[in-house]
Chain A
Amino acid sequence: MFNKILIANRGEIAIRIMRACKELGIKTVAVYSSADKNAQHVQFADEAILLGDAAPKESYLNVEKLIQAALDSKADAIHPGYGFLSESASFALAVESAHLTFIGPSADSIRAMGDKAESKIAMKKAGVPTVPGFEGLQTKAEFKKAAKEIGYPVLVKAAAGGGGKGMRVVNAENELGEAIESARSEALNSFGDEGLLIEKYLPAAHHIEFQIFGDTHGNLVHLFERECSVQRRHQKIIEETPSPLLTAKLRDEMGQAAVSAAKAVNYYNAGTVEFIFDPQLSSYYFLEMNTRLQVEHPITELTTGLDLVHWQIRVAAGEKFPFNQTQLTQRGHAIECRVYAEDPANGFLPSTGKLLQFIEPHGPNMRVDSGFAAGDEVTHFYDPLLAKLIVYAENREAAIQRMQTALREFIVHGVITNIDFMQDVIAHEDFTQGKVTTRWVETKFDWKPLGLANEVLIAAELGDLKLSQRLQVAGLGHEVYSPWKSQNGFRIGVGK
């Protein structure tokens, strides 16, 4: 087992990984940028190393600095978390070359799944259903012929792509030429590769993914699905498991397909095979494989009872994963809501500022994986994820109820969040009926924040009088009211 692990990440996931390390008796090294010097993940680690400036390429994306930090701190392994360098084959290689262990799959597996066109070819060969389409086309005439054969609407997307970049929906032949050109230039700009693939566009599809897990001794299993269809800008907001759409038979079939997909690239450690699911035909197609730990891994942990990060570390150290497929079961229902610093009423644009209040909900089967605390600054340099709120209950209905309560008890002041928005999503009948598709938020759900009730106005004014007056009496002058500077037991009498 490892003595010390460097966590090449920040925020909630860095803390999540450090918790697992501490439980396994492994020392932790945090890395940070100048913008994060007071961040929670820095405080949580046994030691912390400054990488450089706030810009990710000077810090969390800087391979040389990360490896140097691991060598300087005498760490013997690096956990990449998600995002940043987690899916960089060259980073995984660089870690191995420095005689350190990369906690994740092999660089070859990462590379094989990194190119969308290549991975699609590999999946077809492995017998995994893929979206009808073509790879490796060059001329417009070839694309035209392919599109006709597939049938419009079609999707033109960057082979090296991700995150919705270099992707165009084409509804008819006259839009095809322009779509190819713009997708090509965007692909070249974003990924340095203008290769495109073309496939059938499914406008009313769900996103269902399977957690897979393997060791280096040849055991590879799936840990059931996650339904992640509530999305904005191709990014997930709410995830749950089990999916309300799958029958036991379909679950088995898709799980097997996911295992085949992973086996095709000799996969080990944690990974996720994503499928597009068409609810009309109950058909599913391979979308891509994420060769890392997912943001939404906790819902799988709650319903399987497994600690995925523990096992990531243990199999990276060479241990066997002790369960076969028939020994694994899922129990109950789990939902995750991602609390983002963003404004759903303003195009989900990021919101930054100092957290004036940050109160996490507590209760039976409520879990908060958070990277922030009151007093922290939310800056514009990184992902707007503040925390993940995860609940578990006996069944879906009870889990939705529990999540509703937990969201209402999550208080964040100082930045605008999507907490109110998510309350309305999970209360919507389309959500309760499992009808939310990946484009539902953008095309069907026209969300408006609540109007101003009298009691809000009254609370704002009385808060002003009571809370700020109290500070002045307490001798703190004209500082803004700071809830984390507790002054217990001091109250002002009214009308005396």
Chain B
Amino acid sequence: MKTSFQYNSQSSSLDLTPAGKGYQIQIGDQTLDAEVLRAENGKLDLLINHQRVTAYVSVDNAKRWVTIRGRTFMLTKESAGARRKGSGVDHAGGLAAPMPGQVRSVAVSVGESVKKGQTLLTIEAMKMEIRIQARADGVVKVVHVKQGQTVEREQILVEIGDAL
């Protein structure tokens, strides 16, 4: 069974086959074996190539949080059919929220011409204010949010089209 995970916008796959008491695992051209000694309360005790490894694992929809030897990784499981594109690629002129928060002000409206570096809107989170600025000269095509609205990280806020 082949599974892929995204980490830092890179995809990695592994292929897992039940074997003996555990599994045989193929990652690229490497073959490893793993056995689960214990699995409870979000903690796994594993034997990977006969080395004892303790992992804390949490599952939240597609997200996987893994801590091994004090280092924490957030991976995203890729669904079988739909291969994900890199983030932001499908929204050439779209500006996404760099952090979750609340829209504090919207400075532009649809049809307005904007200059590179111009502040389009501001988001506030945890006492920090972030200015969302135009990456290039252009015209505001869509404004997806309004003042006071709560936004998620990576949510598209405004879309800028080419200047006429």
Contacts and interface: CB of A to CB of B under 8 A. Distances in A.
B149 interface: no
Given A352-B125, A456-B68, A494-B36, A481 B42 contact: yes
Contact of A483 (B14, B42, B64): B42
B64 A463 contact: yes
Contacts of A351: 99-100, 153
Contacts of A452: 7-8, 10, 12, 73, 75
A231 to B, nearest CB: 15
- Band of interface residues on A: 35 or more
Interface of B is mostly: strand
A346 interface: yes
A460 interface: yes
Interface string B61-79: 1001111111111110100
B65 A413 contact: yes
Contact of B8 (A449, A459, A483): A449
Contacts of A330: none
Contact of A356 (B10, B36, B60): B60
Interface residues of B, number: 62
Contacts of B21: 494-495
A99 interface: no
Interface in A434-457: 449-450, 452-457
Contact of B14 (A349, A382, A461, A489): A461
Contacts of A453: 68
Contacts of A356: 42, 58, 60, 65
Interface in A335-366: 341, 345-347, 349-352, 354, 356-357, 359
B156 to A, nearest CB: 17
A307 to B, nearest CB: 28
B72 A483 contact: no
B88 interface: no
A460 B32 contact: no
18 contacts: A346-B98, A351-B100, A352-B125, A357-B42, A380-B99, A380-B124, A380-B126, A408-B70, A409-B70, A455-B46, A457-B12, A457-B27, A460-B5, A461-B3, A462-B16, A463-B39, A464-B3, A480-B60
